[in-house]
Amino acid sequence: MPGLRTFALTVAVRGGARMEDEARSGWSHLLEHLVFKGAGDMGARDIVERIEAEGGSINAATGYERTSFDIRALHGSLPLAMQVVSDLVFRPTLDPVEIIREKDVVAQEIAEAFDTPDDHVFEMAQTQAFAGQSLGRPILGSVESLAPADRAAVTDWRARLYSPDRMVVAVSGAVDEAELLALAERWFGQEAASPAPTIAPAVFVGGEARLARRIEQANLVFQLPGLAATDPGLPALRLFTEILGGGMASRLFQSAREDRGLAYAVDAYQEPYEDGGLLGIYAGAAAERAVELAEVCAAELLDLAEKGPTEAELSRAKAVLNAGLWMSDESPASRAGRNAAQTLIFGAPVSSEDSAARILDQDADDLRAVGRGMAARGLTSTAVLGPKAAGRAGAAFAARLKGDDAPAGALKRLR
């Protein structure tokens, strides 16, 4: 990226919580923590000090399908950045004392997630959506599943997870291609590959979860089966999601918040996995109005699926997604992360021009098709966390989506 004095490095691994069986739930996230406790000739403090001494920053994240290590730094620091990440993924110390200590840290993280209602409600919905599957278990795992993780077991898991043939090294910004290729060969090209853990196909099961807690607000998540990352209908689903609940001009925001005052926060999102996905709605509401809000959310989704978007809605959604794409193109970190993820999924990066063209090519019929396809399956995953009075909200959303008779009131006021 000409004119920049910094670069962003992302080393992404095709592997994460989805590769775990139930007995190893949370091990990928634990491993990501542990490699920062010491690697190569570096202790925990050395790792961050070496990067920060060059004005850089380092971070990592574990997801269901990918684990990524990210460094931002000044031009000239790429050799150091590549060596540090290589040591983290291939040569971590995995000290037994640190393993015990870090399991306690993750236990605190698990407790913190439980204590945060608008985090925990998503875990509840995910568990229902993919019940009995690795996609349905929390990325953090549980205290019980982490207990057997000792040095030998974690060392074996590292070798299976961080295999070089399932890694992508992506750099954007102030970078010289010849230097990068030489460094990639030196630090990542000499390691032995390992067999990939078997991943079972994703199956959206659906279900209802409720958790009554003495808090002020009800936290609601409603999910439907979505599309895979490779599905040609994904651009249409992205537009559908934007129109449904992507911003302040979205249907959910205008209908639920502005017109009725049912919620302070309400939005829609979509999560594509390699072979499946989901469309979701999150909202927070007063418990006594949660059922009405659930019905409004379902009705707005159905209305958009059946009638399709207006010309103005479609045009606005295209503009928003198109602008977001080009804005991310101007960020070295966004570009490196996106290119790494796309290479793992598609085998090569997808140009921004191609991505923009796919978005702009969609019409109202395309959005109607994906909307009807999701609704027609009749599957929902719902989670309600908050006062008992909100408990029926998940069932109300599911019933309305399936076309069951709904109570008179809010639904009749929709378009």
Residue 128 has, within 13 A of its CA and on its CB side, a CA count of 23
Give me the catalytic one of 32, 98, 292, 295.
32
- Token digits of residue 236: 């249409």
* Residue 139 to residues 110, 124, 397, Cα–Cα distance (Å): 10, 12, 27
- At 285 the three-state DSSP class reads strand
* Residue 172 to residues 2, 73, 85, 351, 356, Cα–Cα distance (Å): 10, 11, 16, 14, 20
Q: Which amino acid is at 46?
A: D
* Residue among 310, 282, 304, 306 nearest 294 (CA): 282
- At 103 the three-state DSSP class reads helix
* Residue 67 to residues 4, 28, 291, Cα–Cα distance (Å): 27, 8, 38
Alpha helices in 260-310 (DSSP H): 290-307
* Residue among 139, 144, 275, 127 nearest 210 (CA): 127
Q: Which residues neighbour 100 within 8 Å (Cβ) at sequence distance 6 or greater? A: none
* Residue among 163, 197, 271, 273 nearest 23 (CA): 197
Q: Tokens 């920060």 sit at which residue?
A: 52
Is 32 annotated in the active site? yes
The answer to whether 142 and 25 are in contact (CB under 8 A) is: yes
The answer to whether 13 and 68 are in contact (CB under 8 A) is: yes
* Residue 374 to residues 71, 78, 193, 347, 368, Cα–Cα distance (Å): 38, 45, 39, 28, 10
Using CA atoms, how far apart are residues 126 and 282, in angstroms rounded to an integer? 13
What is the set of active-site residues?
32
